[in-house]
Amino acid sequence: MQGERPDRGFYDPEMIAESCGLVRVMCYDKHLASQPGHGPTSTAPWAREAVSSWLRYVPREKLVMGLPAYSNDYDLRPGKRGRQVYASRPDVRDQTELEKHWRPFEQIHVYRYLESEGHPRVFFASDAKSNTAHLETVEKLDLGGFGFWHYGSVSPEMWQTVQTATEKR
């Protein structure tokens, strides 16, 4: 994303900028829960860099930042994979202990917990606080807008951050 692309691959950002009235940059799926390894759906620095790379080609008023509205939940046992979850925190029994951490650089909450059978899990949350960080990127870069992959999965707390951000604009 940082450098010039000698081979444009399957898309040409200059042609897209010229021929499209609106360009939506998917600032999610940094890590696919179904693939090997584990990590967040999105982080603020990664999304900021993704959008900034498109700003070299696309006028900011045409650029829409796609925000994550789902989280990644991983089974940490060897050979296991994760799953996409339409929730901003793990769905666990009341007595399950959740260890919650805020990662200030990535601007995301991470939960560690044991599932009912005692297997370790890690949950990278797309929640109101991480959403606020993404909306700050939209504001700072003065982008044309933002949107979600799936509106039905956006939590009420995340909608509140959207309302607050749009009232500022």
pLDDT of residue 53: 93
Whether the Cβ atoms of residue 157 and residue 114 lie closer than 8 Å to each other: no
pLDDT of residue 8: 56
Question: Would you call 134 exposed, middle or buried from its count of C-beta atoms within 10 A (0-12, 13-18, 19+)?
Answer: buried
pLDDT of residue 116: 83
Superfamily of domain 13-168: Glycosidases (3.20.20.80)
For 134-151, write each residue's pLDDT tens digit.
999 999 999 999 999 777
Query: Residue 24: how many CB atoms within 10 A of its CB?
Result: 17
Domain boundaries, the chain: 13-168
How far is it, in rounded angstroms, from Cα 40 to Cα 70?
A: 10
Q: Indicate yes or no: pTM above 0.95.
A: no
The list of the chain residues with pLDDT below 70 reads 1-9, 95, 169
